[in-house]
Structure 1
Amino acid sequence: MTTGSTDDRPWVLVTGNGAYGDTAERVGWQYDTNPSSEIALHLDGETVAGHLIRGVALEWDRTPAEAIDPILDAADGRPPAVAIGLGVFSGRPTVSVERTAVNVRDFQFADGGHRPAGEPVFAGAPAAYLATLPIKAIAQAIRGVGIPALVSNSASTHGCNSVMYTLLHRAAERGFPTRAGFLHLPDPPAHVASVGSDGPSMAVELQIEAVRTAIAAAIAHSDGDIELPANEWEW
């Protein structure tokens, strides 16, 4: 995985996002500590279905590639079997397994002093990518352990979408067999309580179990997704 590593197990990259939203008008969108990074770091070093998890908290200024490229470059020619980006989506009540990443950055608020307004994630790259994770199998598996989960058809156009697009674009560009995608997670209860919101939340312990379950499902369904209608509606 890293330069000089003697661990030859297949590995899974799990990324979380850094703090953001300090200029957001809605206080509920301001995260001094991003819970998705706490979850990624909690899983770092664990083994799921014979795959070693590398959990990373991404820190980047303008684009996620600043943080993701060094990880892939240091992998000694052994790309991850699975790459799952994590992010928080305030107001969503369930784990959202994202289907699509678009080549658009159109932020709700400035991040790092910059507010993109329709610029691409990568100039000249495809308009969109579909997740290469088995998204329906993942959603079904998470529900199977008693945690609410749905397939979502839009990762929005903010930083989370940029992370998902970067993971998929780099895998396609470099010819990696990596199956990649993104999970949006609900707010943890502590964040909802701290901002005095009546919005939905999910215990961090359940979110951690959901991500573990997603990893196991991705490994188990390496040849493709289950053939079932998603049966979810997004307006």
Structure 2
Amino acid sequence: MKILVTGFDPFGGESLNPAWEAVKKIPDTIGGAEIKKVMIPTVFGKSAEVTEEAIKDFQPDYVLNIGQAGGRFELTPERVAINVDDARIPDNDENQPIDVAIQEDGEAAYFTQLPVKAMVTEMKKAGIPASVSNSAGTFVCNHIMYQIQYMIDKKYPEIKAGFMHVPFIPSQTVDKPGKPAMNLDDISAGITKAIEAIVAFDGKADLKAIGGTTH
């Protein structure tokens, strides 16, 4: 089995992105699966182009995109991506689409094929705070999750894919009082455990576990 794991470059004035910093630290083999790590730009459109080139080169069975969600306390596998770009801030190429469809002929939303509840369960067993998220936002994180699902829908039906957000690391919160943070080693360990769950649940249905929210 081969799994492509991507992490974004820094954005929004940050000097680093814990997504990529954590991805760099995960093992090259997890649960017997070969891991390829790629940094992608925090740029609408271009992020999907770079990821697709990696897909063509590596021909993975799974794609797991990782992104930063400053303000979240936990690692949060995403359940769904929606067909809209609505950027609160510009991306790294100064693009700021507002209420724009990602793909005119795409579905309104795509659900991940990853076992998100099993991923959360394994991370929690390892002592890593984790929960299922039902919104990937409307910035480049949702954009790349949607774009990969669109590619699966149109071109790569054999691939399964999904997205996971990770919190700030402590050095990023020095000037952000009250914002939660997580140690980089714990984030990396959480990603590793999530991938172990992906491997273990290959060809199986996700866990039937409580993971919903009331709001």
Q: TM-score w.r.t. structure 2 length?
A: 0.93
Give the match's secondary structure for 1:152.
Answer: coil
The aligned runs of 1:193-232 (5 Å cut-off) are: 193=174, 195-222=175-202, 223-230=204-211, 232=212
Distance 1:120 1:234, change over 3 A: farther
In structure 2, the residue matched to 1:3 is none
**Would you say the 8 A contact 1:60–1:66 is kept in 2?**
no
How much has 1:133 moved relative to structure 2? 0.1
Structure 1 position 59 matched with structure 2 position 41? yes
Runs of 4+ in 1 over 6 A off after TM superposition: none
Q: Distance in 1 between matches of 2:67 and 2:55?
A: 20
**Where does structure 2 lack aligned partners over 5 or more consecutive residues?**
none
Alignment of 1:123 with 2:104, yes or no, is yes
For residue 31 of structure 1, the aligned residue among 14, 30, 37 is 14
Quote the residue 1:73 is aligned against: 56
Q: How does 1:93-172 map to 2 (within 5 A)?
A: 93-111=73-91, 112-172=93-153
- SS of 1:149's partner is coil
2-side partners of 1:234 and 1:90: how far apart? Answer: 22
Whole-Å separation in 2 of the counterparts to 1:234 and 1:204: 30
Give the gaps of 5 or more residues in structure 1: 1-9, 22-29
User: Structure 1, residues 34-84: CA drift from partner, whole Å, max 9, x if none?
Assistant: 1211122223x6101111111111026431222112112223xxx312211
Distance, in Å, in 2 between the alignment partners of 1:186 and 1:148 is: 10
Q: Deviations over 1:122-159 (max 9, x none)?
A: 22111110010001111111101111100011101101
Partner amino acid, structure 1, of 2:8: N
TM-score after normalising by structure 1: 0.85
Deviates more, 1:200-209 or 1:172-181: 172-181
What's the C-alpha RMSD, in Å, of the aligned pairs? 1.5
Q: Residues 43 and 140 of structure 2 are in contact (CA less than 8 Å); yes or no, is this contact kept in structure 1?
A: no
How many Å apart are 1:18 and its aligned residue? 1.4
| Change in CA separation of 1:234 and 1:160 when aligned onto 2, cut-off 3 Å | farther
Pair 126,143 (structure 1): closer, same or farther in 2 beyond 3 Å = same
